[in-house]
Chains A and B, each alone.
Chain A
Amino acid sequence: MKTLVLRGLGKTYFDVYAGAHVTAVEDVSLEVKDGEFVALVGPSGCGKTTLLNMIAGFILPSRGEILLDGRRVQGPGPDRGVVFQSFALFPWKTVLDNVTFGLKMRGLPRGERDRIGREYVALVGLAGAEGRYPADLSGGMQQRVGVARALANRPDVLLMDEPFASVDAQTRMTLQEELTRIWQDRRPTIVFVTHDVEEAVFLANRVVVLSRAPGRVVAELTVPVPRPRIWARLVEDGPFKALVAEVLHLVRPV
């Protein structure tokens, strides 16, 4: 079992413009079990992205530690796949070469990595687009490539940083439904950061609510809503709506 453990995690940095130390993340402790889908939700600027960047190893924590499978996280690595809000696809690589990038870094021969790559391109519903360049794709399609690229590398944890925030509302719903389908199918461990309460409740098994900056864990709620989750059905669903309301009150206390 590959468990992700955050212990007393905090980040304070020096803001050169304000000329003062700013605490983005106060003290976060959290445990994410193998195969779990956890959503981190909180008000804008509560340090969600900072938290995720620390787990990814992009920035160093000021306090506390991050353990994955008992090992301390020291920097970025292929055990933690990342899906970015800005997609961050390589514009000079085709869809297939983007998806197989991690496998190439691992030294897999071309034939084998292309076979695996095609499987993941198909998994996100892009079969046929393998040879296209990211600039030719819509935002929604680009983020499908981003998800396939991260998954094809078989990470222990998938870190998603507001991945659907920059696509239109219709596409976002489709992508959310597809992500729950992929999760049910493959059971990757996912830590999903969002400011959208409905999205968090729709996707996750467990919703972790963070406070206003500097971020602390305010509450953890399990989501008993059965799967498969489909918007058309949940939009009228009483328990779903009640849970969304509960989380919303925690994120925006009166």
Chain B
Amino acid sequence: MRRAERRGRRDATGPGPGRLLGFLVRWTVTHPALGAALAFAPVVLLWAAVAAAGVFPRVFFPGPAEVVRAFASLTYKGILPAYLEDSLIRLAAGAAAGTALGIPLGLAVGLSRRAHALGWPILLFFQAIGDIAWLPILLLWFGFGLTTMTVVIVYTVLFPVVLNTVLGVRSVPVELTRAAASLGAPRWRIVGEVVLPGALPNILTGLRNGLGYGWRALIAAEMIVGTSGIGFLMFDARRAGQVTEILLGMIVLGLLWSVVDGWLLVPLERATVQRWGLVAG
């Protein structure tokens, strides 16, 4: 971030006609969120134009202004913040549980040839049965409730984390574990000092995929199972014919992912694998 700022300042010092461009470049570099918002300007303008032209009935195709009004009203009533909180807590709990289970499991399967021979085919099999495919049977077992939703999210997050951890463990160069062993590291310390950090780029990829899939699975589960949450908000709005609220829910989903990516995943990668030169910055 600090480096980006410095770069931005240097760009802006250019004199003459390049000044406005320099200003825009600096602005988008120092405020990446605003820069990203700028990219959406044409999309929003087109949307507003189509809505204003009245090609479709306003009830089925509301414009940005209506959605902003719905946002303000639902926020004022406290519904949107409460639902958002519910969804995020579910995702965070599921992701934490999935990661806590997934990394050790991935290490075990990646490190032991026997565990790999047994575990890998099973992992591939269950990975193929996607999250939502479990819903029918989970509904019968656990009913319409939090348990069903939690199982779906943990399941969805678990597999990308496990599979990528296994790949990461197996991608650690053999010279590194040999070097550690010849410096006197016992096996369990090699796992902590070499295998785990060496597998981190893949583990982060797994976490990124897991969170992405988990987020989608959560919304789907909330539509079917939920009594609150963004997914429930959208599905409930459908029942009431509130297209505005459905659109609002969709926009919130997209925005929220940018927040998770920009505030959690990107800084995590910058502090670790990018700094170590394991992936390009």
> Which residues of A come within 8 Å of B, CB atoms?
56-58, 75-78, 80-82, 84, 86, 88-92, 101-102, 105-106, 133-136, 149-150, 153
Q: What are the residues of chain B within 8 A of A135 when measuring CB–CB?
A: 276-278
B179 close to A77 (CB less than 8 A): no
Interface string of B265-280 (1 = CB under 8 A from A): 0000000100111100
The chain B residue with its CB closest to the CB of A134 is B277
Q: How far is the CA of A92 from the CA of B278 in the complex (A)?
A: 9
Q: What are the residues of chain A within 8 A of B212 when measuring CB–CB?
A: none
Known: A105-B189, A136-B277. A88 touches B272 (CB 8 A): no
Task: Report the stretch among B2-10, B22-30, B45-53, B180-188 that lies at the interface.
Answer: B180-188
Asked whether B176 is an interface residue with its Cβ less than 8 Å from the other chain, the reply is yes
Would you list 20 pairs from A and B whose C-beta atoms are within 8 A, ordered by A residue? A57-B182, A58-B178, A78-B183, A78-B184, A81-B183, A82-B179, A84-B179, A86-B173, A90-B194, A101-B193, A105-B180, A105-B184, A105-B186, A105-B189, A133-B276, A133-B277, A135-B276, A149-B183, A153-B183, A153-B184
> Shortest distance in angstroms between B158's beta carbon and chain A's nearest beta carbon?
25
The size bracket of the interface on B is 20 to 34
Asked whether B119 is an interface residue with its Cβ less than 8 Å from the other chain, the reply is no
Asked whether B197 is an interface residue with its Cβ less than 8 Å from the other chain, the reply is yes
Cβ contact of A101, chosen from B175, B178, B180, B198, cutoff 8 A: B180
Q: What are the residues of chain B within 8 A of A91 when measuring CB–CB?
A: 276-278
Cβ contact of B179, chosen from A57, A88, A136, cutoff 8 A: A88
Q: What are the residues of chain A within 8 A of B197 when measuring CB–CB?
A: 90, 92
Q: What are the residues of chain A within 8 A of B198 when measuring CB–CB?
A: 92
Q: Specify the main secondary structure of chain A where it touches its partner.
A: loop
> Shortest distance in angstroms between B62's beta carbon and chain A's nearest beta carbon?
51
Among A78, A86, A88, residue most surrounded by chain B Cβ atoms (within 10 Å): A88
The 9 closest A-B pairs by CB, nearest first: A135-B277, A78-B184, A102-B183, A88-B175, A76-B181, A88-B179, A92-B197, A105-B184, A91-B276
> Shortest distance in angstroms between B163's beta carbon and chain A's nearest beta carbon?
22
The chain B residue with its CB closest to the CB of A59 is B178
A56 close to B276 (CB less than 8 A): no
Q: What are the residues of chain B within 8 A of A84 when measuring CB–CB?
A: 175, 178-179
Q: What are the residues of chain B within 8 A of A92 when measuring CB–CB?
A: 197-198, 200, 272, 276, 278
Q: What are the residues of chain A within 8 A of B178 when measuring CB–CB?
A: 56, 58, 76, 82, 84, 88
Q: How far is the CA of A88 from the CA of B182 in the complex (A)?
A: 12
The chain A residue with its CB closest to the CB of B185 is A105
Q: How far is the CA of A102 from the CA of B181 in the complex (A)?
A: 9
Q: What are the residues of chain B within 8 A of A90 when measuring CB–CB?
A: 176, 179-180, 193-194, 197
Q: How far is the CA of A149 from the CA of B179 in the complex (A)?
A: 10
Q: How far is the CA of A102 from the CA of B189 in the complex (A)?
A: 11
B276 close to A81 (CB less than 8 A): no
A77 close to B182 (CB less than 8 A): yes
Q: What are the residues of chain B within 8 A of A136 when measuring CB–CB?
A: 277
The chain B residue with its CB closest to the CB of A153 is B183
Q: What are the residues of chain A within 8 A of B173 when measuring CB–CB?
A: 86, 88
Tell me which residues from 187 to 224 in chain B have a Cβ below 8 Å from any Cβ of chain A: 189, 193-194, 197-198, 200
Q: How far is the CA of A46 from the CA of B197 in the complex (A)?
A: 35
The chain B residue with its CB closest to the CB of A152 is B183
Q: What are the residues of chain A within 8 A of B189 when measuring CB–CB?
A: 105
Q: How far is the CA of A192 from the CA of B115 in the complex (A)?
A: 38
Cβ contact of B175, chosen from A78, A81, A86, A106, cutoff 8 A: A86
Cβ contact of A105, chosen from B183, B200, B275, B276, cutoff 8 A: B183
Q: What are the residues of chain B within 8 A of A153 when measuring CB–CB?
A: 183-184
Q: How far is the CA of A76 from the CA of B183 in the complex (A)?
A: 8
Q: How far is the CA of A101 from the CA of B186 in the complex (A)?
A: 12
B182 close to A80 (CB less than 8 A): yes
Q: How far is the CA of A76 from the CA of B180 in the complex (A)?
A: 9
Among B181, B184, B193, residue most surrounded by chain A Cβ atoms (within 10 Å): B184
A77 close to B184 (CB less than 8 A): yes
Q: How far is the CA of A106 from the CA of B186 in the complex (A)?
A: 10
Q: What are the residues of chain A within 8 A of B180 when measuring CB–CB?
A: 90, 101, 105
Q: How far is the CA of A75 from the CA of B186 in the complex (A)?
A: 11
Q: What are the residues of chain A within 8 A of B184 when measuring CB–CB?
A: 77-78, 102, 105-106, 153
Q: How far is the CA of A84 from the CA of B178 in the complex (A)?
A: 10
The chain A residue with its CB closest to the CB of B189 is A105
> Shortest distance in angstroms between B61's beta carbon and chain A's nearest beta carbon?
52
Q: What are the residues of chain B within 8 A of A81 when measuring CB–CB?
A: 182-183
> Shortest distance in angstroms between B271's beta carbon and chain A's nearest beta carbon?
11
The chain A residue with its CB closest to the CB of B274 is A135
B276 close to A76 (CB less than 8 A): no
Among B176, B182, B184, residue most surrounded by chain A Cβ atoms (within 10 Å): B182
The chain B residue with its CB closest to the CB of A53 is B178
> Shortest distance in angstroms between B182's beta carbon and chain A's nearest beta carbon?
4
